[in-house]
Amino acid sequence: MHLIAVTVALLAVAHAGPAPKTLKLCVPHNAYEACVQMMEQGKGVGVEMSCVPARDRIDCLSKLHDHKADWEAVDPEDMYIAAKRFGDSMSVFKEIRTKEEPDAEFRYEAVIVVHKDLDIKNMEQLAGLKSCHTGVGRNVGYKIPITKLTKMKILPPLNDTKLSPRENELKALSTFFSKSCIVGKWSPDPEINQRLKQQYSNLCELCEFPDKCDYPDQNSGYEGALRCLAVGGGDVAFTKVIFVKKFFGMAYGSQPAAKSDHKPEDYAYLCPDASKKPVTGPPCSWAARPWQGYLTSDQDQQTVATLREAITKLNNLGEQNHAEWISSVLALNNKTLAQDNKGPYTPQEYLGKAKYVDVIERDVLEPRRSVRLCTTSATENSKCEDLAQAAYSRDIRPGLTCVTRPSLSECLTAIKENQADIVSVDPGMAVNALSKFQVAPVLKEEYEDDHKISAIAVVKKSSPLQSWADLKGHKACFANVGEAAGWVIPVHKLVTSGLVARDNCPYTKAISEFFSAVNYSEEPFKCLGSGEGDVAFTDYDSVLRHLEGNEKAEDYELLCEAGGRKPLDQYAACRQGTVPPKVMLSRKELSPVEKDDILFALLSSADLYHKHPEYFQMFGSYKGHPNVLFSNVALGLDSVHTGADPLAPHQKLHDDLKTCTPQAL
């Protein structure tokens, strides 16, 4: 009897087949805890999944491709990157739509609205009219019309190589339209922004506040562009369909008709063939922005069905509980919902049906121009390539390209010889480079308001060392020769304190004679922790980063220059000095357009990815490596204007040591 029971059980297991796999959702690391919470709550509605943390959405795409994860939430721009990198290996299987228009095929459709009696027979007759736009750099009111009108050869050429891509666009619009309202930040650099608005001031004349030409302005945005048309003197408005319906009080989606001060029968859609259609009827759109959605690398139909059902359950659960994870993990809010599509579609198909690929690829200059960022390692180059593709997908022009050289010195030579445009450099190394390579800082990193990078000396708590004089004959961990916190500042202190003779040249030799062993490394604190050194000369932020791992803060103390020791968190009272910001160097003699290009590409990227690290983590560790291209602690970049010298404090230390310091570059 027992044998029969065992046999029956084995047969049951055999017929049941393999257990279904646990599907894995990939999320940027800043949403990982929220994802874990979502999955824990999801068990109550029958959703069994796990979360895979990633650096950002681009990292998630790679994890999907490598089948380390099964799905993620994405924007159309992320879909574009997926299509370029991985072809047809992924699919968009569900969309994030609005509750107002849950059945609409696209997130919005770009339209041109005119007065119905506007006398126009062809698109060339738009020239000289007064135009109303949503804002600079925006989709329906700027990117789409420029893209489509340029392809139709309606706009004047955008190929002035003496101007930046953004200025080419503004010049073309300013020449084509007599007056306009295009508010916003025309350049991320305040000085360039002001210059452009003065030079092309007619693009601000229809705005509520022409002198400011920035948000808030009642003649900007989707509805504001229509207000500009209806009562602000405009002839043509670039906006999207749903706001046409709202503005004129027409019913749309699930919303009934409402009262409006404006008569829809007085207005028309202007179609690409210059024909007109009443705004009360079907629109003729120029392009559409696809919905956000969810991407999977699993082509199995049953898996797709399981994912669709699970997301719907999680959507409902999150709404009922007002869960915070609904936005950070699923990219939903109280105005949106996850909706099955007719696909799945490959990313290329999905973008193609909205005619959106050429909008993403909009590049006004031919031949295309780019800012060439120089890198010195495979890791730096990989991050540069990720940044370049991410920025391009998000309409940052000019684009970035990556130039690789085996060393910083060779990168600086490439810049000097106009084979590259910019390189990110430690402030100590930067001071060393200024005269030798004829370079100058163009950008500097930004940190928290009161944040200063502090140069410190760290020892293990068990160490007997109590003063810098005690260091003689012990092992030291320095950063690379020439770096600010880990070489220039501590060596300067050793020399000026008299512990190392000022005339004992070169100082690399003098330092090796003072210590029993000297290790030069990228990570001095790691060198100390491994026992290779008795003291580490480094910066406080690097120590903090290591303490996020397995190291314990209480196992280390600061060795103060004035004698004695202090806990790590008292670094402000026990540091040898503060370090200027990391800088980006370019040729000293840049033309105005070259500088415009560099500032626009890098400042726009920094602004965007500081606000949205989930798109791409520009600041922070990359593939397990710290300070790749930019410092982990940086929050953004800022322009270095003519006459300003962020390296001046450090220059004095260099001048004091240079007669006896070997050139690091």
Annotated binding-site residues for Fe(3+) read 75, 108, 222, 426
User: Could you tell me which of 316, 250, 297 has the C-alpha nearest to residue 278?
Assistant: 250
Compute the distance between CA of residue 430 and CA of residue 439 in angstroms, rounded to an integer. Answer: 9
Amino acid occupying residue 578: T
User: Could you tell me which of 605, 612, 597, 663 has the C-alpha nearest to residue 629?
Assistant: 605
The SS3 of residue 631 is coil
Strand partners, 54: 28
Strand partners, 475: 517
Give the number of residues written for the chain: 665
Which residues in 178-199 are b (16+ Cβ under 10 Å) and which e?
Answer: ebbbbbbbbbbbeebbebbbee
Q: Strand 583-587 vs strand 577-579: parallel, antiparallel, or unpaired? A: unpaired
Amino acid occupying residue 42: G
Residue 506 has which token pair?
A: 């070169």
Binding residues for hydrogencarbonate: 134, 138, 141, 485-486
Phi, psi of 95 (to 5 degrees): -125, 155
Residue 144 has which token pair?
A: 């789409």
Compute the distance between CA of residue 631 and CA of residue 445 in angstroms, rounded to an integer. Answer: 8
Beta strands in 82-194 (DSSP E): 91-98, 108-115, 130-132, 179-181
Compute the distance between CA of residue 467 and CA of residue 143 in angstroms, rounded to an integer. Answer: 62
Compute the distance between CA of residue 250 and CA of residue 227 in angstroms, rounded to an integer. Answer: 16
Compute the distance between CA of residue 619 and CA of residue 511 in angstroms, rounded to an integer. Answer: 34
CA distances from 151 to 148, 155, 157, 285, 519 (A): 5, 9, 10, 16, 59
CB-side neighbour CA atoms (13 Å) of 635: 8
Compute the distance between CA of residue 388 and CA of residue 176 in angstroms, rounded to an integer. Answer: 31
Beta strands in 116-272 (DSSP E): 130-132, 179-181, 236-240, 267-270
The SS3 of residue 267 is strand
Helices (H), 452-539: 489-496, 507-514, 524-529
The helix (H) or strand (E) run that includes residue 536 is strand 535-539
Strand partners, 458: 536, 558
CA distances from 470 to 41, 248, 482, 567, 571 (A): 57, 81, 24, 19, 20
Phi, psi of 503 (to 5 degrees): -100, 15
Tokens 């990633």 -> residue? 54
Assign residue 411 a region (left: φ > 0; alpha: ψ between -120 and 50; beta: otherwise).
alpha
Question: Which residues 6+ apart lie within 8 Å of 199 measured at CB?
Answer: none
CB neighbourhood size of 260 (10 A)? 14
Q: Strand 439-446 vs strand 636-639: parallel, antiparallel, or unpaired? A: antiparallel
Question: How buried is 290 (Cβ within 10 angstroms: 0-12 exposed, 13-18 middle, 19+ buried)?
Answer: buried
Residue 65 has which token pair?
A: 């491709």
Binding residues: 75, 108, 134, 138, 141, 222, 426, 485-486
